Amino acid sequence: MDALIETLNAKLTQWEPDVAEAVRQSISEIIEMADRDLLDIMRSRLVEQEVLDLIDEPETR
């Protein structure tokens, strides 16, 4: 885990400020959900967005 923290710390200083802040916010949300034991029941935003994208795609036949 220390390697992950070191990598994240280095990246946060390299990224544009708005990207770094978005990452900080996402990590904070994940920590809060983990503290509440909600990670296993929450749908991933990425998966949810992928489903919505599939629904919006025009049918190709």
Q: Does the pLDDT value for residue 13 go beyond 90? A: yes
Residues in the chain: 61
pLDDT in tens, 40-61: 766 677 778 888 888 887 765 4
pTM: 0.60
Alpha helices in the chain (DSSP H): 2-14, 17-35, 45-56
**Domains of the chain, residue spans:** 2-56
Please tell me the predicted confidence (pLDDT) of residue 46.
77
What is the Cα Rg of the chain in Å? Answer: 16
**Cβ(12)–Cβ(23) below 8 Å:** yes
Using CB atoms within 10 A of its CB, is residue 33 exposed (0-12), middle (13-18) or buried (19+)? middle
Residue 7 — very low, low, confident or very high, per pLDDT cuts 50/70/90?
very high
Residue whose token pair is 């990590």: 27
